Structure 1
């Protein structure tokens, strides 16, 4: 059944996504869980033909249209909805437009917080760090309507969300879980530069894992906990987060120690002996590339940035330079359908635009 046909998207994009939908539909029909996923739209009002712009919002609308053409169960955005490089009233307007698009659809949705979503990129250019959002802005305009959905996810105090589907538990982390204070009129942390989870959020993660029962667990978040080289992917508590996932797979009980840092220290206790599931994967964005690697048996899968990254821009990653991404072509955008089959125990990632067509993994 097709939905949302009243959504207006660019004619060329509709043609490209129709072709993608026709190709992927038979591959995902009958799967246990299908997610339409984009990440890092970096939406802003200023148009650039080489680097970010209002096409970030267009990509959200195009995901909305595509989800209506396929047997999609949930829509997902893995953070950096906005670039955070404009005055706060403009960034908030762009942020609310994106959330309104998700809220207007018939499908449930999950949005992760990204490190650009507090507008700190704009504030960095001001001596007093003016224009930066307090965390209540994202909580009020994103997490609150997300939590209010009928049949939507639960959302914890620290921005961790959980929903269950077809014997799968999906947990979405907040990797910008940064305790914010204003000291002398200046923010104590630049959230754009501070990827982190607090000990309290890791305890919330533990609680969600302990009650998973027989379910396998898909972890999502803006940034990965670990890098391919085995180093933490977060400034604070990436290693501890990873070790909790390892403990879940091993069905251990015990305690994780976070050190003495006043904002990110503490301890958390876990007991996973009553669960039988496994971690399917940890799916993230943030790095503006595609990668798959395993650290201690945990599969990390990175998705490419939706936002335009032109080949000649100084901040464009090597991966996106290879795509030679151009506005008003299929390489302008990048998005995915993640399809989970609990019988075959497979995770398939199907990409459109500047993304790999197919990545298939067992768990």
Structure 2
């Protein structure tokens, strides 16, 4: 009851700076719950640790935490931020290689000063962790849900808000690389393994009479510059086992684009890389999402992209298209059984506040010697699945 009262007071309309300060105070009161961290640590010790060697890469992965400045016992709320704290607490204790958040850190439905505070809080928690981290941008992370619900005629987030609060800190870490200071493609290497991160919310920030031309929440895509950077990175990827990660799924099981723009082109590029092809990647569009570029993957040795991992859909699924595994992970945010927007997948878990089912997260172990990628889920997640790489 005390937490609910604090949240209720915090959401009472006040001057922006005071609301932001209240949010900051509220977030700083969040602590990891021992029953949760003990449980996650047990999953690691019993299931993951036996597979960890100097040659493998082991990741802690969360997605779709949808943090809101609200104490909710049935759906999205501040519990999303707590899930980050708890996952990173265990990551520190067991010395993982990398922490990854696949996007939708926030729900994007709070006042802009509150949403910025939630983003900042999450990044600061990752920064305090011992392992390097990478946070991908989700379609909710530009706060468009707030604008949409209030029919605002202006954008609540400025052009550089997300980049200045989140993206730039990814690349201040020596373990995380990109081609140039503005590239949206990042990568992480350990021995024979390369993990490449792409931005599936690569949408131009264009204003018309104060409103955005594109709604970031509803539109997902990848633009030519990002595909060009990805091509350059892949052309220089020699004898590596490559795993790709993004927020949203790029193609459907039938091979059709699952993004509004150019998801199929990403898949075509990865297939060309695996086949050591040279050629041209082009679509029929012009303007913001037109693509016309060349590639040459003839000198990449035994390198192969075997897997693309994402979140966004709020369920679990995996399928193979052109010999590439596409894996969708469940959302960490609480989705109570009786909430109207809860997916059928999460209704089956009957997720409940302050129980293990409240959260969902994963450890991923990539083993180049056994040619195997293993996913160990906890909370509202499948306990184990394995893929060949």
What interval of TM-score do these two structures reach, taking the shorter chain for normalisation? Answer: over 0.9
Work out whether residues 110 and 153 of structure 1, in 8 Å CA contact, stay in contact via their aligned partners in 2: no
Pick from 309, 320, 342: which aligns with 1:316?
342
Work out whether residues 199 and 258 of structure 1, in 8 Å CA contact, stay in contact via their aligned partners in 2: no
Aligned pairs, how many?
357
Matched, 1:34 2:54: no
Pick from 127, 140, 147: which aligns with 1:123?
147
Work out whether residues 31 and 82 of structure 2, in 8 Å CA contact, stay in contact via their aligned partners in 1: no
Write the distance in 1 (CA, Å) between the matches of 2:323 and 2:207.
41
Matched, 1:73 2:94: no
Partner of 2:289: 264
What CA deviation, in whole Å up to 9, does each residue of 1:147-181 have, x standing for no partner? 11133333752421112112111110100000111
Is the radius of gyration larger for structure 1 or structure 2?
Answer: 2
Matched, 1:299 2:340: no
Work out whether residues 28 and 71 of structure 1, in 8 Å CA contact, stay in contact via their aligned partners in 2: no
Write the distance in 1 (CA, Å) between the matches of 2:334 and 2:242.
31
Partner of 1:3: none
Partner of 1:226: 251
Aligned runs of 1:50-89 on 2, under 5 Å? 50-89=74-113
Q: TM-score, normalised by structure 1?
A: 0.95
Work out whether residues 59 and 98 of structure 2, in 8 Å CA contact, stay in contact via their aligned partners in 1: yes
Write the distance in 1 (CA, Å) between the matches of 2:274 and 2:153.
43
Does the C-alpha gap of structure 1 residues 16 and 129 become closer, same or farther in structure 2, counting only changes over 3 Å?
Answer: farther
Partner of 1:330: 356
Alignment partner of 1:280: what SS? Answer: strand
Write the distance in 2 (CA, Å) between the matches of 1:289 and 1:153.
30
Pick from 219, 236, 240: which aligns with 1:211?
236
Partner of 1:189: 214
Q: Give how far 1:274 is off.
A: 0.4
Partner of 1:167: 192
Alignment partner of 1:263: what SS? Answer: helix
Q: Give how far 1:129 is off.
A: 4.1
Write the distance in 2 (CA, Å) between the matches of 1:28 and 1:44.
36
Pick from 302, 305, 319: which aligns with 1:279?
305
Structure 2: which 5+ runs fail to align? 1-29
What CA deviation, in whole Å up to 9, does each residue of 1:303-331 have, x standing for no partner? 11000011111111111111000010011
Write the distance in 2 (CA, Å) between the matches of 1:257 and 1:271.
14
Q: Give how far 1:140 is off.
A: 0.9
Q: TM-score, normalised by structure 2?
A: 0.89
Alignment partner of 1:351: what SS? Answer: strand
Bigger Cα displacement from structure 2, 216-225 vs 156-165: 156-165
Work out whether residues 199 and 247 of structure 2, in 8 Å CA contact, stay in contact via their aligned partners in 1: yes
What CA deviation, in whole Å up to 9, does each residue of 1:20-55 have, x standing for no partner? 122124333215101110000000111221111001
Work out whether residues 155 and 212 of structure 2, in 8 Å CA contact, stay in contact via their aligned partners in 1: no
Does the C-alpha gap of structure 1 residues 239 and 25 become closer, same or farther in structure 2, counting only changes over 3 Å?
Answer: closer
Does the C-alpha gap of structure 1 residues 230 and 151 become closer, same or farther in structure 2, counting only changes over 3 Å?
Answer: closer
Aligned runs of 1:240-255 on 2, under 5 Å? 240-255=265-280
Work out whether residues 364 and 375 of structure 2, in 8 Å CA contact, stay in contact via their aligned partners in 1: yes
Does the C-alpha gap of structure 1 residues 207 and 160 become closer, same or farther in structure 2, counting only changes over 3 Å?
Answer: same
Write the distance in 2 (CA, Å) between the matches of 1:203 and 1:193.
24
CA-based RMSD of the aligned residues comes to 1.5
